[in-house]
Amino acid sequence: MATIKDVARKAGVSTATVSAVMNDTAFVSPELRARVVTAIRELRYEPSQAARNLRRNRSQLIALAVADLSNPFYARIVWSAEAAVAAWGYSLVLFNSDEKPDTERRILSRIRTLGCDGMVLVPVGAANQYQSHEFEGIATVLLGRSIEGNSADTVTIDNHAAGRQAVDYLLDLGHRRIGSVTGPMQLSTSKGRLDGMIDAMAARGLAPQPGHVRSGEFREEAAYSVARDMMGSPDRPTAIYVANGVMAIGVMRAIADLGLRCPQDVSIASTDTVAGAGGLKPRLTRTEHPIADMTNEALRLLVDRIEERGAEPVRNIIFQPALIVGESCMPLRGDAG
């Protein structure tokens, strides 16, 4: 295998000149440039990317730490990220915290050990569980969720708007007794969506009844359990807002197992959906994320930080959700109260 010294010898120039031609770091006369390019071609010289990265103090690795790979939502993020990092000339290192802060803490340490140039993180812990040193010295973008008081760039949706849009739609259909299956309240997504629901109801002089707001932990089975309990009570809600797509599957299973029908007996609206949910009957009414756009924007911000393209202030990019009307909601019947 040819080396840079072989190229320099054949072209009759120094290794510094070869390097300048390859990296375009200094002026080289057209004559010398042509000789170097010809030598590279004839010797079939391929520079070592590892060596170049070492000289630049770069690994060309970007870490992506998602919250739950069993959730198809995050599989879509990974799919978008793989294409984006390749276009930027980086390789992706994938981690799954499984919604466990202890696992996430080990992942953050591992990312540093690997020498990744930057990371895109879907955080799973409460703000007080993070130490400032965990983010020092490594370019970081938070995706989908934010951490209060953290100075990293963030890319999220307007979670308040996502919850409010879905619940406003249910209210417009005449529903007044509306329940919710939420995620963990230490997460910005869960809190924002629940706040949106509460504000939508408060604007019409309403509030959720006791026991009608339950945490499904962003898990299908947990959502199934709390929905079954909620819908088994005498004062069950006539509509449920579910804070993510995976939990919506659990809620719909619970309704079916109780012998109830959606939307005839209870209307369901969610934020986001999951791959394959389009085949469900009825199709979910939901507010959706622009996942590919959010992922691409997060990686663009990250590469800007890695490449140090200006001392930009902290950037918080907020995408707006879109209401997609399916078949899982219907106007409240007069006898449903």
* CATH superfamily of domain region 4-47: lambda repressor-like DNA-binding domains (1.10.260.40)
pLDDT value of residue 74: 93
What is the band of 335 on the pLDDT scale with cuts at 50, 70, 90? low
Is residue 128 within 8 A of residue 101, CB to CB? The reply is no
Measuring CA to CA, how many Å separate 312 from each of 56, 301, 309, 315?
Answer: 22, 10, 8, 8
Domain residue spans in the chain?
4-47, 61-158+291-320, 159-289
Residue 189: pLDDT band (50, 70, 90) is: very high
The stretch 212-217 carries a mean pLDDT of 97
Task: Give the pLDDT score at 238.
Answer: 98
Average pLDDT over residues 283-297: 94
Binned at pLDDT 50, 70 and 90, residue 295 comes out as very high
| Beta strand extents in 164-314 (DSSP E only) | 178-182, 213-215, 239-242, 267-271, 285-288
- Specify the residue for token string 């809600």: 237
Dihedral sign from CA coordinates of 293, 298, 303, 305? positive
Average pLDDT on 283-289 reads 93
The pLDDT score that the predictor gives to residue 309 is: 63
How confident is the model over 126-150, as pLDDT tens digits? 888 888 778 888 999 999 999 998 8
Under DSSP, the state recorded for 270 is: E
Query: Whole-prediction pTM value?
Result: 0.81
Share of the chain above pLDDT 70, in %: 92
Q: What pLDDT, in 10s, does the model give residues 219-278? A: 999 999 999 999 998 899 999 999 999 999 999 999 999 999 999 999 999 998 766 555
Contacts of 312 (CB under 8 A, 6+ apart): 304, 305
pLDDT tens, position by position, 10-65: 999 998 888 888 776 778 888 888 898 889 889 988 766 555 554 556 688 999 99
Chain mean pLDDT for the chain: 90
What is the pLDDT at residue 30?
Answer: 83
Q: Comparing 61-158+291-320 with 159-289, is the CATH topology the same?
A: yes
Kindly tell me the burial class for residue 195, based on how many C-beta atoms sit within 10 Å of its own C-beta (0-12, 13-18, 19 or more): middle
E strand or H helix that includes residue 297: helix 291-307
CATH H-level superfamily of 61-158+291-320: Response regulator (3.40.50.2300)
pLDDT tens profile 93-111: 999 999 999 999 999 999 9
Question: What confidence score (pLDDT) does residue 216 get?
Answer: 97
Element (H, E) at 32: helix 30-43
- Pair 144, 122: CB distance under 8 Å: yes
pLDDT attached to residue 177: 97
pLDDT computed for residue 13 by the predictor: 92
- CATH number for domain 159-289, candidates 1.10.540.10, 3.40.50.300, 3.40.50.2300, 3.30.2010.10: 3.40.50.2300
Report, as an integer, the average pLDDT of 193-215. Answer: 97
